[in-house]
Amino acid sequence: MEREVDAYDEAAREAVELGNRLAEADQDADLWDIADGLLAGAIQYWLYARQPCGDPRCEDCAPVSTGERRLQELLRLTEELARESEYFHSPNDLDVGRA
């Protein structure tokens, strides 16, 4: 299990570092474009990695056994990770109270 956590942490760190390298290499690049590209690549890899094994009775694959189920799981996980992020709330959010 520790190896999986290490792989998870390393993948997340590498993704952030890649975004930073791309932004530093092209000062005129739109940060939103870089972020969207990273997200697109991450989604492609996640969908590839979550293909069901082919055994219709596999309990491990049940949550990702169809395209729609994979999408539901991806959206659930995306929301969970976003809400846990230190960047989820911003001081510039419209719903932040101002004194």
What mean pLDDT, rounded, does the chain reach? 93
Rounded average pLDDT over 7-31:
96
Radius of gyration of the chain (CA): 17
pTM for this model (two decimals): 0.83
When pLDDT is cut at 50, 70 and 90, the band that residue 2 belongs to is low
Domain residue extents for the chain = 1-49, 53-87
Which candidate, 12, 6, 30, places its Cα nearest to that of 87? 12
Model pLDDT, residue 96: 81
Is the predicted pLDDT of residue 49 greater than 80, yes or no? Answer: yes
For 16-48, b/e burial (b = at least 16 CB within 10 A) is eeebeebeeeeeeeeeeebeeeeeeeeeeeeee
Written as one string, the DSSP assignment of the chain is -HHHHHHHHHHHHHHHHHHHHHHHH-TTS-HHHHHHHHHHHHHHHHHHHT---S-TT-TTTGGGSSHHHHHHHHHHHHHHHHHHSTTSS-TT-TTS---
